[in-house]
A = this chain, B = another copy of it.
């Protein structure tokens, strides 16, 4: 295989489609007021998020990316943090940063699906239990009843990272007023293609929102991000089309993977997880792709906590990029079988 001229970055999400023209224009227009604090505040944006999420503006705090939401929840409630592996590593990383006690329940997707079964003892111990649904990187949805059971039984906070909410439509955000220890974190990065502007939000009952607000900055989201967020809700048609197109690209890519004998994990996300039989096989595919400029993430990457199954995570790119990736995988499959 020859060296490709252009690198194809399928290691992080964020290359598949671009923000809507309305979002781009709003961002450009925001530059004009760059020398003024975002003194108008975030009510308009919180109101739009609330409408979208079927909650009230008082249930919403906007954050500097979903990662700030995760950090704020950890700062306030993360003395003892409970995590089920394999999952997104930010829950663990930020907890380590502030010297929390951390309990990671091991897990493998080799012989079963990713699921969470926190014990009563674990929930008694934790001041903060994380649920990632759909889970990064496995894409599994944690059933609503299970999450609400955790929250009912927990002594501390149960926080649900719904960064990939738009890929499944399943949420517990509507329960935050009833279940007072439940927190939901979300992002504009994934479905709304604005990774570079850092915009996320927390949904929780007003008392928790107020406590979280007091531990972040009055102006924690800049003018450009705020403008983009507001404009997203005026471009829903555009994003529906973009997401449908992503789904078609993904279906076709995964069908190709399955046809060539690769094991693809079911998921609700903008990426494909390929599970190999051994680390040797995984390394062969990962290095083979990288050699021709196609970058993917190994399970050992710092993006993940406790991910021991030999996998690569392939984020969706454009149609052309995914055809290139499929063809490369096909050549690698044939070559690997011959070895």
Contact = CB atoms under 8 A, between A and B. Distances in A.
Interface in A34-70: 34-39, 64-65, 67-68
B15 A36 contact: yes
Contacts of A247: none
B31 A14 contact: no
Contacts of A225: 222, 224
A8 interface: no
Given A76-B98, A98-B75, A35 B217 contact: no
A5 to B, nearest CB: 19
A154 to B, nearest CB: 21
Interface residues on A, range: 35 or more
A219 B71 CA distance: 12
A16 B34 CA distance: 12
A197 interface: yes
A174 interface: no
A336 to B, nearest CB: 30
Contacts of A67: 217-220
A69 to B, nearest CB: 10
Contacts of A276: none
A207 interface: no
Interface string A63-103: 01101100100011000000000000010011011100000
Contact of A197 (B12, B195, B217, B224): B224
A266 interface: no
Interface string A185-222: 00001000111111000000000000100111111111
Interface stretch (A22-30, A106-114, A124-132, A158-166): A22-30
Closest 6 CB pairs of A and B: A97-B214, A196-B223, A97-B215, A67-B217, A35-B193, A224-B224
28 contacts: A12-B37, A14-B37, A16-B35, A17-B35, A18-B35, A24-B31, A30-B196, A33-B196, A35-B194, A35-B196, A36-B195, A36-B196, A37-B189, A65-B220, A67-B218, A68-B220, A71-B215, A71-B216, A75-B98, A90-B217, A93-B214, A94-B215, A94-B217, A97-B211, A98-B215, A198-B220, A198-B221, A224-B225
